[in-house]
Structure formats: C-alpha cells, structure tokens
Chain A
C-alpha cells in the first residue's frame, strides 16, 4: 500500500489506527474476559450480604476510593504489611471494582477483623478521635441516615443483572437484615467483610 494514500485519507488512517490499537486489546484484555481465574469466584468468595451491599454503596457514594485502594499488589513489602496479595477471582462480584489507585490512606482490602465495630464507628464519625494525626474526613451524617430495604433491593437487583448470583431467598432476607440499621452500621459491616478469600478472620 502507498503511504500517501493513508496520509491523505483521514478516515482510512483512523480505521488503521483502531486496528493497530485493538491488537493490544486482543492480546491483553480479551484473555482476561474468558480466562477462568479472572471470571470465576476464588474459593471462599461469596456475594456480599444485604447490609454489606448497602455499606458498599455508601463507600462508593462517599468516594472512599479516592484515598483508599483495595488491592494488595504483588510486592513482598505489601504482602507483609497488608496480607495476601490480591487475586483476580476475589473481584468477580465487585461491580464496579474498588481497586482504586490512590493511597492517601492505607489499602483496605484486608481490613476486615483488624479493628472492632466500635472502633470503626468512632473512626468514621471523627477519625481524629482515635488517630490524632489523621487527615481523613469524618462522616458523622452516616449515623443519622437509615438504610431502607427498598434501596438495597434495587442495589442487589442491579448486581444480579450484571451476574452476581443472588437467589430469591437472598432478596427475601433483605428487610430483616437491614431493619433499623444506619448507613454507618452498613459501612462498618462492609469494611468488616473485606478480607482475603483464604483468610480466617477471628472475632
């Protein structure tokens, strides 16, 4: 082909550029969409419970991912500090995934069981009450907002649509699971659920 033809026809050039770029996509991205290790849940990974789903929604809404990652990278130092390195199979029910890329605060993917619920409540209401040098903002309004079964039903419905295997029984359990709970309770429940798929959490 004559390169002048490509240079003079911007439409053709655009198509060829797209072809070249999609080669990268085909070898890097497509295998991840069909490989078992990235599309099937790792052993021990269960869909979140209703209250945890509500908490995850708060996590996303309040933008916690702007300061916290949820992926322990394949570096020995990180594994020593946070726990087992992240596995792709741990994120299959995480829509949209909360891996994040900014660490103003520490990684949270293995924070479950590290502190008790009361600590999390104090810390989320006012981080400086327990960590004087913290620059994390407080979220006191979460304690005043209730979780409603209706909202959780919609959240779990959306998750089911994108492939999280919730059963009808899971949906029936929603009202009891979230009755009387605040968004703070929900967020704490979500934080306590963050752990490695093969990690035992005492407490």
Chain B
C-alpha cells in the first residue's frame, strides 16, 4: 500500500471509530423533553402498542465500548491502521516464512541424516522408507499409483522387472533426469501379414525354438525389432525396451494392444524431477522404490 492510500485508509478508519464513540455518547444522553426513565412514552403504535423509555442494558453498552477499545488496541499492535506495520511488526507473509524456515530446517536435518545411508540401506530402513513413502505420495503417486503398482503405460515399481534397471544408480537417474522410451511406429514398414506373425510371437513368447507362425514372426522380429528388444526378446535397459518374453506388460499383452503398439509406436515419458526434488529426496525415493521390489 502506498502512503497516500495508507493515510486515506487510516483517516476513514479513525473517522469510523470516532463516529461510533459519538453515536454511543449521543444516544445514551438524556434529551430535554424526554419522559422519565421507566415511564410510558407518548407514541402509540398499531392502535394500542406503547413503549417504555428504558435505556440499553448496561452490559450491552459496555460491550460496545469494549469493541471500540479492542479496535484501537488491534490497530496499534497489528497492521490495521492504514499502511502502519503495527508495534509487533507482524505479517502473514512473515509468519508463513518463519514457519516454513523452521519446517524446512527440521526436514533438512532429517533428510541429511537419513540420506547419509547408501541407497541399498535406505531400502530397508523404516524411518527412511517412511519419508520416501510420503514423497512418493506427493510426487509420484499420480502416475505410478499410490501403492506404486503402476497403470497402463506407467510401470509397476513394486516388481523386480525394470525397464531401465533396478540398481541404485539407474533408479536415481530415472527420477532425476526422467525417462522417455521411444518405440518407433511400424505402420508403413510392415505388411499386415508380418504384423500378424509378430503378434503371434510376442503375445505368447515360446520357451524353446519357435515353430509355425511363431517362427515366421521370429524371422521378422530378428530383422526389425531385435535392435532394440534384443535377439532373444529380453529387452534392452539402455533404451528402456521392455522384455517381451515375460508376463509383465507396460501397455498390454493382448493381440489388439500389441497391434496398436507395433503400428503406432509408444512414447512413455517420465518427467525430470531435478527441479522439484533435492538430491537427498531423490536418494530416499530411490531407496523406497527399490525396497518395494524386495
């Protein structure tokens, strides 16, 4: 608030208080032509209603006076009188900032203490896991689910199956820098026949040597898909290409979903959390996530 507005506000506030004082004084004063206290007044209302001349009860009047005194005291102590800060120098922002500093300090002390453990130990340390779980709830649960079991397109973090690896370094890197697996679309590159052969293979990956349609699928796979998913379909953690031989699916293992994946490609994206989380927080989260898989 600039001083001019401040003085205007202060002036109006002061006038308002003075007006209240005057009002109480003026109305509680006896007037010259008034009937005696407790006597019946002259006016008649609605034919037969009459009014006694009684003053306001004393306690009621006192309440008015107390509110006026309170208002003056409040304006002296708190920032209420125009742009004056008040003798306490209190402000909502200041209160918030000091509380925030206090909470952050306490939190940092705790984080420093807990994040001093190696990630592998955090994974099984109850206190550290608790902090990790809280962080997970506010930063990760929206995508990976409150209990980290994932959803379509969002990996389950509770199993021991990793797109990018489950080592402390890999998980810390996933959280810090984010991840973006890119599977290119094959819509214009494969014939319908080839796509069906691939679906036959991928939907039910054979244990030993493939035969029949699956063998045809395998031939196409080795040519077109193995660069990313590996010759034997076990995936590649450097690219985030999933293992196609197991029963864990990121998008789905039914023929329709696999067809969609092959034709249109996939671009799962995990955002970077570098700007949102401190190094210690990321470490605690990594420990928590790794602990889930154990």
Contacts and interface: CB of A to CB of B under 8 A. Distances in A.
A133 B146 CA distance: 9
Give the 9 A-B residue pairs with the shortest CB-CB distance, closest first: A76-B99, A76-B100, A74-B96, A27-B9, A31-B5, A74-B92, A116-B269, A23-B16, A202-B275
Given A115-B142, A115-B271, A202-B271, A122 B103 contact: no
A5 B31 CA distance: 14
Contacts of B142: 114-115, 119, 123, 130-131
Contact of A203 (B27, B100, B271): B271
B12 A27 contact: yes
B12 A23 contact: yes
A38 B276 CA distance: 28
Interface in B1-27: 1-2, 5, 8-9, 12-13, 15-16, 26-27
Interface in B91-143: 92-93, 95-96, 99-100, 102-104, 138, 141-143
Interface in A134-162: none
B272 to A, nearest CB: 5
Interface string A1-37: 1110000000000000000000100110011001110
A118 B270 CA distance: 10
A31 B7 CA distance: 11
A202 B1 contact: no
A29 B105 CA distance: 37
Interface stretch (B149-157, B193-201, B284-292): B149-157
Chain A interface: which size bin?
Answer: 35 or more
Interface in A144-203: 200-203
Given A116-B269, A203-B271, A130 B154 contact: yes
Contacts of B143: 115, 119, 130
A36 B103 CA distance: 32
Interface string A72-93: 0011110111000100000000
B185 interface: no
Interface of A: 1-3, 23, 26-27, 30-31, 34-36, 74-77, 79-81, 85, 113-116, 118-119, 122-123, 129-133, 200-203
A85 B274 CA distance: 21
Contacts of A81: 138
A46 to B, nearest CB: 20
Contact of A201 (B26, B138, B275): B275
A80 B103 contact: yes
A152 B86 CA distance: 48
A162 to B, nearest CB: 23
A81 B135 CA distance: 10
Interface of B: 1-2, 5, 8-9, 12-13, 15-16, 26-27, 31, 92-93, 95-96, 99-100, 102-104, 138, 141-143, 145-146, 151-154, 178, 267, 269-272, 274-276
Contacts of B96: 74-76, 79, 85
B177 to A, nearest CB: 10
A42 to B, nearest CB: 14
11 contacts: A23-B12, A36-B2, A74-B93, A76-B100, A76-B102, A80-B104, A118-B153, A118-B269, A202-B271, A202-B272, A203-B178
A81 B99 CA distance: 14
B239 to A, nearest CB: 19
Contacts of A114: 142, 271, 276
Nearest to A77: B103
A131 B145 CA distance: 6
Contacts of B153: 118, 122
Contacts of A77: 103
Interface centre among B2, B26, B100, B152 (most CB of A within 10 A): B100
A35 B2 contact: yes
B271 A130 contact: no
B271 A26 contact: no
A60 B270 CA distance: 29
Nearest to A37: B1
B236 to A, nearest CB: 22
